[in-house]
Amino acid sequence: MSKELLGGQAVIEGVMMRSQQHAVTAVRTPNGKIVLRKETINPRPGLWKLPFFRGMYNIIEMLAVGMRALIWSGNQSLPKEEQEPMRPKDIVLLIVISFAFGIFLFVALPYLLTFMLGLEEESRPIIFNIVDSVIKIVIFIAYLLLIARMADVKKLFQYHGAEHQSVHCLEAKLHLTVKNVQKFNPEHPRCGTSFLILVIIVAIIVLSLLPVAVMYLFPGFVEQPFLLRRLILFTLRILMIAPIAGIAYELLRFSATHQGSVFFRLLSAPGMWTQLITTKKPTNKQVEVAIQALQEVLRLEKTNIKTTSK
C-alpha cells in the first residue's frame, strides 16, 4: 500500500486510521481493552479520482468518515444502554453545523474585520487578502491555544501525535512496536493542520485575483450598490473554497514527498509549526491504540489486494 494513501485522525480515547479503501478506529475503553471499528470506503467516482478534483472530494469524505469515527468513539465510554446509534441524518447535521461554524469563524469574521480596518477589496485586493489571511491565522491559532487548555483536548492531541508517529514508523519501514514508534516526532507534513494552513496560503493568491476577474468580466460591477458588491464577492469566496482546497491538497501531497526540496520544506513549515500546538507526545498506551488501528488497516488492505487479484 502506498504511503500516500494513509491518513487518519485522533478520536475520543483513540485513533482512526484509513487507507483508500478502509478505515479502522481503535479506542481504549474504560476497562482498558482496545476495541476496533472497521469501515469499507466506497471507491471514488471517475472524475473525483483525478488530481485537483480528488482534493475537493477528500474533504467531504474525510468529514463523513471522521464524524462517524468520532461518534462511535464517544459511545465506547458509555454503558451499552446509553449508546446512541449513528443515524445518517445526524452525521449530515453535524457536518452542516461544523461547516457553518467554520465559515463564520474563519471566513465571515476575518472578512468583516478586514473591512472594519478600512481596506477596500476592489481597489487593493492583494493587501486586502493578505490582511484577511493574517486575521484568519490569528483567529485559528488563538482558537487552538484556547481549546488546548482543556484536559480532554490535550489527550486528543496526544492521540493525534500517536497517529503521526505510527505513520512515520511505517514510512521508515520499521516494525510497528511502541519502542520504534516513540522514536519519532509527533509532527507530520501530511497532517490536516498543514492542509488548513496551505488553504490559507493558496487563498491569498486565488482570492486576490477574484475581484480583478469580476471587474474585468463585468465592467459595471463597481457601479453597483456597496452591499450588493459585498454579497456577490463574499458568495464567490464561499464558492471558491472547494477549488482552493483542491489546489492545497495537491500541494500537500507533493510537498510531503519532496521534503528534500528547500521550497517545499518552506511551504510545509507553517503547518509543521502549527502542529506544535495540535500534536503532543503520546504515552505508550496511546501508541498501542494507534498501532492496532494501523496494523488492522494494513491487514485489510493486503487482504483486499489478494482478493481483487484473483
Residue ranges of domains in the chain: 3-305
**Average pLDDT along the chain, 310 residues, taken 10 residues at a time:** 67 94 95 95 85 87 88 85 72 83 92 93 92 94 94 95 96 95 94 88 92 91 91 93 92 80 83 94 97 96 52
Predicted local confidence at residue 81, as pLDDT: 67
Task: Give the span between the Cα atoms of 289 and 13, in whole angstroms.
Answer: 9
Task: Give the span between the Cα atoms of 83 and 14, in whole angstroms.
Answer: 17
Predicted local confidence at residue 304, as pLDDT: 60
Predicted local confidence at residue 9, as pLDDT: 93
Predicted local confidence at residue 186, as pLDDT: 96
115-153 per-residue burial string, b: 16 or more CB within 10 A, e: under 16: eeeebebeeebeebbebbbebbbeebeeebeeeeeeeeb
Predicted local confidence at residue 306, as pLDDT: 42
**Any idea what DSSP says for residue 309?**
T
Predicted local confidence at residue 181, as pLDDT: 97
